[in-house]
A and B are shown apart, each in its own frame.
Chain A
Amino acid sequence: MITMDLLAINFSLGLEKLLLIGAIITFSLIVAMYTTYAERKVAAWMQDRRGPNRAGPFGLLQPAADGLKLFFKEEIIPLTSNKTLFVLGPALAMITAMLTSAVIPWGSSIELFGRNISLQIADVNIGILYVFGVVSMGVYGIMIGGWSSNNKFSLIAAVRGASQIISYELAMGLSLIALLMMTGSLSLKTIVQQQMEGGWNIIYQPLGFLIFLICVFAECNRTPFDLPEAENELNFGYHQEYSSMKLGLYLFAEYVNMFISSAVVSTLFFGGYDIPFVDETALSLSLGANTVALLGFAALFAKILFFLFLFIWVRWTIPRFRYDQLMDLGWKKLIPLALANMLITAVVILWLNK
Chain B
Amino acid sequence: MHINEILFWFLTALALFSAMMVVFSKNPVHSVLWLIVVFMAITGHYIIMNAQFLAIVNMIVYAGAIMVLFLFVIMFMNLNAESEPQKSKWMKFAAVLSGGSLMLILIAALKDNGGFISSMRGEGSIGLIKNLGKVLFTDYVVPFEISSILFLSAMVGAVVLGKKDSSTIVS
Contact = CB atoms under 8 A, between A and B. Distances in A.
The A interface, classified by DSSP as helix, strand, loop or mixed, is helix
A3 B128 CA distance: 12
Given A129-B56, A136-B65, A1 B122 contact: yes
A186 B50 contact: no
Contacts of A282: none
Instruction: State which size class the interface on B falls in.
Output: 20 to 34
B22 interface: no
A166 B68 contact: yes
Nearest to B48: A3
A284 interface: no
Interface in B59-97: 59-60, 63-65, 68, 71-72, 75-76
Contacts of A4: 2, 4, 121-122
A143 B36 contact: no
Q: Is the interface of B mostly helix, strand, loop or mixed?
A: helix
Interface string B1-27: 011100100000000000000000001
A133 B56 contact: yes
A129 B53 contact: yes
Given A136-B65, A137-B63, A147-B29, A3 B50 contact: yes
Interface residues of A, number: 31
29 contacts: A1-B122, A2-B122, A2-B123, A3-B4, A3-B48, A4-B4, A4-B121, A125-B129, A126-B52, A126-B129, A129-B53, A129-B56, A132-B60, A133-B59, A133-B60, A136-B63, A136-B64, A139-B64, A139-B68, A140-B36, A143-B75, A144-B33, A147-B29, A155-B75, A158-B75, A162-B68, A162-B72, A166-B65, A186-B129
Interface of A: 1-4, 6-9, 82, 85, 124-126, 129-130, 132-133, 136-137, 139-140, 143-144, 147, 155, 158-159, 162-163, 166, 186
